[in-house]
Amino acid sequence: MKSLPESTKFAHLGKPGTAFSKGFQRRLDILKTLVDFKDKKILDLGCGEGVWLRQFAKFTPAENVYGSDIDPESIQKALDQNPEFKNFNLKVGPAESLDFADNMFDIVFQNEVLEHVVDDVKVIRECFRVLKTGGKIIIFTPNKGWPFETHGMFLGKKYYWGNIPLLPWMPKSIYKKFAPHVRNYSNIDLVEVIDRASRYSELDQQNYEYSISYHKHVFPGFDGMVARFGILGKVIRSLILSLERTPFHRFGISHLMIVEKL
Protein backbone atom coordinates (compact mmCIF):
# COMPACT_ATOMS: atom_id res chain seq x y z
CA MET A 1 0.00 0.00 0.00
CA LYS A 2 1.37 3.41 -1.00
CA SER A 3 0.81 6.59 1.03
CA LEU A 4 0.01 9.66 -1.09
CA PRO A 5 -1.27 13.22 -0.44
CA GLU A 6 -5.00 13.65 0.14
CA SER A 7 -5.16 15.80 -3.01
CA THR A 8 -3.89 13.03 -5.31
CA LYS A 9 -5.74 13.61 -8.58
CA PHE A 10 -6.55 10.04 -9.55
CA ALA A 11 -8.00 9.34 -6.11
CA HIS A 12 -10.87 11.66 -7.01
CA LEU A 13 -11.18 11.23 -10.78
CA GLY A 14 -10.12 7.61 -11.18
CA LYS A 15 -6.87 6.30 -12.60
CA PRO A 16 -7.05 6.20 -16.42
CA GLY A 17 -5.59 3.24 -18.25
CA THR A 18 -2.47 4.14 -20.21
CA ALA A 19 -2.26 0.88 -22.17
CA PHE A 20 -4.72 -1.71 -23.42
CA SER A 21 -3.84 -4.46 -20.95
CA LYS A 22 -4.55 -8.16 -21.30
CA GLY A 23 -7.29 -7.65 -18.72
CA PHE A 24 -8.90 -5.03 -20.97
CA GLN A 25 -8.52 -7.34 -23.95
CA ARG A 26 -10.33 -10.06 -22.04
CA ARG A 27 -13.21 -7.68 -21.35
CA LEU A 28 -13.38 -6.77 -25.02
CA ASP A 29 -13.35 -10.45 -26.01
CA ILE A 30 -16.34 -11.05 -23.72
CA LEU A 31 -18.17 -8.06 -25.17
CA LYS A 32 -17.63 -9.23 -28.74
CA THR A 33 -19.74 -12.29 -27.97
CA LEU A 34 -22.57 -10.10 -26.65
CA VAL A 35 -22.60 -6.89 -28.72
CA ASP A 36 -22.18 -6.11 -32.42
CA PHE A 37 -19.75 -3.17 -32.74
CA LYS A 38 -19.49 -3.24 -36.54
CA ASP A 39 -20.14 0.20 -38.11
CA LYS A 40 -21.80 1.44 -34.91
CA LYS A 41 -21.57 4.98 -33.55
CA ILE A 42 -19.89 4.53 -30.15
CA LEU A 43 -19.38 6.86 -27.18
CA ASP A 44 -16.68 5.95 -24.66
CA LEU A 45 -17.91 7.79 -21.56
CA GLY A 46 -14.96 8.53 -19.27
CA CYS A 47 -12.56 7.75 -22.10
CA GLY A 48 -9.44 8.86 -20.23
CA GLU A 49 -6.40 8.73 -22.50
CA GLY A 50 -8.25 6.87 -25.23
CA VAL A 51 -7.03 3.28 -24.96
CA TRP A 52 -10.53 1.91 -25.67
CA LEU A 53 -11.12 4.41 -28.49
CA ARG A 54 -8.39 2.79 -30.57
CA GLN A 55 -9.97 -0.62 -30.09
CA PHE A 56 -13.44 0.53 -31.09
CA ALA A 57 -11.97 2.09 -34.25
CA LYS A 58 -11.07 -1.44 -35.38
CA PHE A 59 -14.80 -2.20 -35.69
CA THR A 60 -16.16 1.07 -37.03
CA PRO A 61 -14.73 4.13 -38.85
CA ALA A 62 -12.83 6.55 -36.60
CA GLU A 63 -15.41 9.27 -37.25
CA ASN A 64 -17.97 7.02 -35.52
CA VAL A 65 -15.91 6.83 -32.31
CA TYR A 66 -16.47 9.53 -29.69
CA GLY A 67 -15.14 10.11 -26.20
CA SER A 68 -15.98 12.27 -23.20
CA ASP A 69 -14.04 12.85 -19.99
CA ILE A 70 -14.11 15.38 -17.16
CA ASP A 71 -10.30 15.70 -17.16
CA PRO A 72 -8.93 18.02 -19.90
CA GLU A 73 -5.41 16.62 -19.51
CA SER A 74 -6.63 13.12 -20.32
CA ILE A 75 -8.56 14.36 -23.36
CA GLN A 76 -5.49 16.20 -24.64
CA LYS A 77 -3.41 13.03 -24.29
CA ALA A 78 -6.09 11.10 -26.15
CA LEU A 79 -5.98 13.65 -28.98
CA ASP A 80 -2.17 13.68 -29.06
CA GLN A 81 -2.06 9.89 -29.32
CA ASN A 82 -5.05 9.55 -31.67
CA PRO A 83 -5.01 12.34 -34.28
CA GLU A 84 -7.73 10.52 -36.21
CA PHE A 85 -10.16 11.45 -33.42
CA LYS A 86 -10.62 15.11 -34.27
CA ASN A 87 -11.70 17.73 -31.75
CA PHE A 88 -15.39 17.29 -32.43
CA ASN A 89 -15.13 13.61 -31.44
CA LEU A 90 -13.66 14.20 -27.98
CA LYS A 91 -15.38 16.40 -25.42
CA VAL A 92 -14.38 17.68 -21.98
CA GLY A 93 -17.16 17.80 -19.44
CA PRO A 94 -19.00 16.02 -16.63
CA ALA A 95 -20.81 12.78 -17.40
CA GLU A 96 -23.97 14.29 -15.88
CA SER A 97 -24.17 16.80 -18.78
CA LEU A 98 -22.95 15.32 -22.04
CA ASP A 99 -22.22 17.65 -24.95
CA PHE A 100 -23.89 15.41 -27.51
CA ALA A 101 -27.25 15.42 -29.28
CA ASP A 102 -30.25 13.30 -28.36
CA ASN A 103 -30.52 9.85 -29.99
CA MET A 104 -26.98 10.02 -31.38
CA PHE A 105 -25.24 6.77 -30.44
CA ASP A 106 -25.72 3.06 -30.97
CA ILE A 107 -23.51 2.21 -27.98
CA VAL A 108 -22.53 4.12 -24.83
CA PHE A 109 -19.62 2.38 -23.12
CA GLN A 110 -18.36 2.90 -19.56
CA ASN A 111 -15.34 1.09 -18.17
CA GLU A 112 -15.13 1.67 -14.39
CA VAL A 113 -16.59 5.18 -14.56
CA LEU A 114 -19.97 5.16 -12.79
CA GLU A 115 -18.39 4.69 -9.35
CA HIS A 116 -16.52 8.02 -9.65
CA VAL A 117 -19.22 10.44 -10.80
CA VAL A 118 -21.07 12.93 -8.61
CA ASP A 119 -24.58 11.71 -9.54
CA ASP A 120 -24.78 8.21 -10.99
CA VAL A 121 -28.53 8.46 -11.72
CA LYS A 122 -28.04 11.62 -13.81
CA VAL A 123 -25.21 9.93 -15.69
CA ILE A 124 -27.35 6.96 -16.71
CA ARG A 125 -30.18 9.32 -17.65
CA GLU A 126 -27.77 11.17 -19.95
CA CYS A 127 -26.76 7.84 -21.46
CA PHE A 128 -30.42 7.12 -22.23
CA ARG A 129 -30.81 10.60 -23.76
CA VAL A 130 -27.89 10.34 -26.20
CA LEU A 131 -28.66 6.71 -27.08
CA LYS A 132 -30.74 5.72 -30.11
CA THR A 133 -33.76 3.49 -29.63
CA GLY A 134 -32.42 -0.06 -29.69
CA GLY A 135 -29.01 1.18 -28.57
CA LYS A 136 -27.06 -0.27 -25.66
CA ILE A 137 -25.37 1.04 -22.54
CA ILE A 138 -22.41 -1.16 -21.56
CA ILE A 139 -21.37 -0.78 -17.93
CA PHE A 140 -18.37 -2.14 -16.07
CA THR A 141 -18.43 -0.92 -12.46
CA PRO A 142 -17.22 -2.28 -9.08
CA ASN A 143 -19.11 -5.17 -7.50
CA LYS A 144 -19.77 -5.06 -3.77
CA GLY A 145 -19.26 -8.84 -3.71
CA TRP A 146 -15.52 -8.50 -4.45
CA PRO A 147 -13.69 -8.54 -1.09
CA PHE A 148 -11.14 -5.80 -1.89
CA GLU A 149 -11.55 -2.05 -2.37
CA THR A 150 -9.38 -1.46 -5.44
CA HIS A 151 -9.51 2.36 -5.30
CA GLY A 152 -7.56 2.77 -2.07
CA MET A 153 -8.81 4.67 0.96
CA PHE A 154 -8.46 7.89 2.90
CA LEU A 155 -7.21 7.89 6.47
CA GLY A 156 -6.65 11.21 8.19
CA LYS A 157 -4.95 13.56 5.70
CA LYS A 158 -3.46 10.73 3.64
CA TYR A 159 -4.66 8.72 0.67
CA TYR A 160 -3.54 5.09 0.63
CA TRP A 161 -3.36 3.56 -2.84
CA GLY A 162 -3.76 -0.20 -2.96
CA ASN A 163 -6.22 -3.04 -2.45
CA ILE A 164 -7.98 -2.71 0.91
CA PRO A 165 -9.28 -6.11 2.11
CA LEU A 166 -12.91 -6.50 3.22
CA LEU A 167 -13.74 -2.77 3.01
CA PRO A 168 -16.50 -3.30 0.40
CA TRP A 169 -18.21 -5.74 2.77
CA MET A 170 -18.45 -3.19 5.57
CA PRO A 171 -21.73 -1.35 6.33
CA LYS A 172 -22.11 1.68 4.09
CA SER A 173 -21.63 4.10 7.01
CA ILE A 174 -18.18 2.60 7.69
CA TYR A 175 -17.29 2.15 4.01
CA LYS A 176 -17.93 5.82 3.23
CA LYS A 177 -15.71 7.02 6.08
CA PHE A 178 -12.72 5.41 4.38
CA ALA A 179 -13.84 5.55 0.74
CA PRO A 180 -15.85 8.76 0.23
CA HIS A 181 -14.32 9.12 -3.24
CA VAL A 182 -15.86 6.04 -4.83
CA ARG A 183 -18.83 3.65 -4.86
CA ASN A 184 -19.34 -0.05 -5.22
CA TYR A 185 -22.65 -1.65 -6.14
CA SER A 186 -24.66 -4.66 -5.14
CA ASN A 187 -26.92 -6.13 -7.83
CA ILE A 188 -29.90 -4.35 -6.27
CA ASP A 189 -28.01 -1.04 -6.06
CA LEU A 190 -27.09 -1.05 -9.75
CA VAL A 191 -30.54 -2.07 -10.97
CA GLU A 192 -32.06 0.68 -8.81
CA VAL A 193 -29.78 3.31 -10.40
CA ILE A 194 -30.86 2.22 -13.89
CA ASP A 195 -34.53 2.22 -12.90
CA ARG A 196 -34.42 5.64 -11.23
CA ALA A 197 -32.66 7.08 -14.28
CA SER A 198 -35.40 5.82 -16.58
CA ARG A 199 -38.33 7.42 -14.72
CA TYR A 200 -40.33 10.42 -15.87
CA SER A 201 -38.70 13.75 -15.05
CA GLU A 202 -40.39 17.15 -14.94
CA LEU A 203 -37.14 18.71 -16.21
CA ASP A 204 -37.32 17.15 -19.66
CA GLN A 205 -40.79 15.53 -19.46
CA GLN A 206 -39.30 12.25 -20.56
CA ASN A 207 -39.19 8.67 -19.40
CA TYR A 208 -37.19 5.84 -20.95
CA GLU A 209 -38.22 2.25 -21.49
CA TYR A 210 -35.35 -0.19 -21.12
CA SER A 211 -34.38 -3.83 -20.79
CA ILE A 212 -31.38 -5.28 -18.97
CA SER A 213 -30.27 -7.79 -21.59
CA TYR A 214 -27.20 -9.04 -19.72
CA HIS A 215 -25.93 -8.83 -16.14
CA LYS A 216 -23.12 -10.92 -14.71
CA HIS A 217 -19.79 -10.31 -12.99
CA VAL A 218 -16.22 -10.60 -14.21
CA PHE A 219 -13.00 -11.36 -12.38
CA PRO A 220 -9.75 -9.43 -12.90
CA GLY A 221 -7.32 -10.26 -15.68
CA PHE A 222 -4.61 -10.99 -13.06
CA ASP A 223 -1.92 -9.62 -15.41
CA GLY A 224 0.39 -8.83 -12.50
CA MET A 225 0.06 -12.29 -10.97
CA VAL A 226 0.90 -13.99 -14.28
CA ALA A 227 3.89 -11.70 -14.82
CA ARG A 228 5.18 -12.51 -11.33
CA PHE A 229 4.50 -16.24 -11.06
CA GLY A 230 4.58 -17.40 -14.69
CA ILE A 231 2.98 -20.80 -15.30
CA LEU A 232 1.73 -21.07 -11.71
CA GLY A 233 0.07 -17.67 -12.10
CA LYS A 234 -1.61 -18.80 -15.32
CA VAL A 235 -2.97 -21.93 -13.63
CA ILE A 236 -4.36 -19.94 -10.69
CA ARG A 237 -5.85 -17.38 -13.07
CA SER A 238 -7.51 -20.10 -15.14
CA LEU A 239 -9.06 -21.65 -12.04
CA ILE A 240 -10.42 -18.34 -10.76
CA LEU A 241 -11.75 -17.24 -14.14
CA SER A 242 -13.62 -20.53 -14.48
CA LEU A 243 -15.79 -19.32 -11.57
CA GLU A 244 -17.45 -16.89 -13.99
CA ARG A 245 -19.36 -19.87 -15.38
CA THR A 246 -20.71 -20.75 -11.93
CA PRO A 247 -22.87 -18.98 -9.32
CA PHE A 248 -19.58 -17.76 -7.80
CA HIS A 249 -19.43 -15.10 -10.52
CA ARG A 250 -21.27 -12.99 -7.93
CA PHE A 251 -17.90 -12.47 -6.23
CA GLY A 252 -16.27 -11.00 -9.34
CA ILE A 253 -14.48 -7.68 -9.23
CA SER A 254 -16.93 -5.86 -11.55
CA HIS A 255 -20.46 -5.90 -12.81
CA LEU A 256 -20.90 -6.29 -16.54
CA MET A 257 -24.34 -4.95 -17.40
CA ILE A 258 -25.83 -4.29 -20.83
CA VAL A 259 -28.93 -2.10 -20.89
CA GLU A 260 -30.98 -1.67 -24.07
CA LYS A 261 -33.06 1.44 -24.70
CA LEU A 262 -36.46 0.33 -25.98
Q: How far apart are the first and last CA of the chain?
A: 45
Count of other CB atoms within 10 angstroms of residue 174? 11
- Where do the domains of the chain lie? 2-261
Q: What confidence tens digit (pLDDT) does each residue in 40-74 have?
A: 999 999 999 999 999 999 999 999 999 999 999 99
Transcribe 140-184 into DSSP letters. Answer: EEEBTTSSEETT-EEETTEEEES-EETGGGS-HHHHHHH-TT---
Q: How confident is the model at residue 247 (pLDDT cuts 50, 70, 90)?
A: very high
Whole-number percent of the chain with pLDDT over 90 = 85
Homologous superfamily (CATH) for 2-261: Vaccinia Virus protein VP39 (3.40.50.150)
Whole-model pTM: value is 0.95
Q: Is the pLDDT of residue 252 over 90?
A: yes
Transcribe 4-21 into DSSP letters. Answer: EETT-HHHHH----SS--
Whole-number percent of the chain with pLDDT over 70 = 100
Environment class of 133 (CB within 10 Å of its CB; exposed 0-12, middle 13-18, buried 19+): exposed
Task: Compute the C-alpha angle 92/143/35, nearest 5°.
Answer: 65
Q: Under a CB-based contact definition with an 8 Å cutoff, are residues 89 and 63 in contact?
A: yes
Q: How confident is the model at residue 14 (pLDDT cuts 50, 70, 90)?
A: confident
Q: Is the pLDDT of residue 262 over 90?
A: yes
Instruction: Give the mean pLDDT of 27-38.
Output: 98
Q: Is the pLDDT of residue 188 over 90?
A: yes
